[in-house]
Amino acid sequence: MRGPLLVAVSMFGLFSCEACQPVSTGPFNGLLALERWRRADPANEHTMTGLLTGHRDERLPRMEEVDPSCTAFVGNWLQSPSRQPSFGTVRMHGTAEGEVTWSADEEGAGWEASHGGLSWDTGSVLKVTASGGDLPAFEFEDTVPAQVMLTSHDLSALSANELHVSRSVPLELKWDPVSGEVLLLFLQFPAADATHKNLSVWCVYPASPGGVTVPTSVLGRLAPSTPKLSTNVYFGGVSAKRVTLEGVDLRTFTFKNEAARIQID
């Protein structure tokens, strides 16, 4: 999540920068996302890795349980009096070939995307290592799950904002029943800068029923779309795990998904 330094200017012309802010202290909740976006054009698919940290202090950016299946990330470190802690340099490596490496920026987190290169077939093993920084180093390994596609909605064929989702009406989703789990993710961000995430709501459901009704208690956590606020939805097969570190409860999501820009009403 790279962006401009947060600058506060006083009446005397003095300022303070994001990098100068004290590092927030834990305990924390962490979210590690290892994504493969599906596009209508396979050559346009992306591999992406990202790491977010949420404080357990309700006054700071945090993760909140919405219901037994869904969690929301609330708040923005750019508007926090403290800086997001860093895990240092993060490296994601596929067992066949290719890797993605990125380092935390002044905000304490980073996202990196690449075209192809990294092995991302179902059954491929991905290994992730973090060198450590404000937060502990870690090593994590997972197997890429099978692609699961919606049958109720063709996300890859949708044009921007073609799908309208009402916060006051339960959302019915269907897919072909398979083993494992699926991930539904809503991601909201300023339309002019997709790197600054305002809010995310993610749900993990068993894949075997072949469908789910997303309740209004979950959809109601989203903000209505405006010309200045965009929303993406992601859906796909997922391997969801938890890694326990000192002071951090880290949730990891390895998934193959399809995505679309949608309208929240």
Per-residue pLDDT tens over the stretch 68-94? 999 998 877 777 777 777 788 888 787
**CA nearest 69: which of 262, 258, 221?**
221
Predicted pLDDT at 151 = 93
Does 1 map to a domain?
no
Does 133 map to a domain?
yes
In angstroms, the CA 199 to CA 188 distance is 5
Bond before 27 cis per omega within 30 degrees: yes
Question: Domain range spanning residue 161?
Answer: 26-264
In angstroms, the CA 48 to CA 18 distance is 25
Predicted pLDDT at 113 = 52
What is the average pLDDT across 182-201?
78
Q: Which of 4-13, 75-84, 120-129, 154-163 has the lowest mean pLDDT?
A: 4-13
What is the average pLDDT across 45-69?
77
Does 12 map to a domain?
no
Report the DSSP beta bridge partners of residue 183: 204, 236
Does 181 map to a domain?
yes
Does 4 map to a domain?
no
How many domains are there within the chain?
1
Report the DSSP beta bridge partners of residue 186: 201, 233
**CA nearest 187: which of 107, 111, 122?**
111
Higher pLDDT, 149 or 19: 149
Does 2 map to a domain?
no
Predicted pLDDT at 176 = 96
Does 125 map to a domain?
yes
**pLDDT-derived band of residue 97, with 50, 70 and 90 as boundaries?**
low
Bond before 68 cis per omega within 30 degrees: no
Does 17 map to a domain?
no
**pLDDT-derived band of residue 102, with 50, 70 and 90 as boundaries?**
low
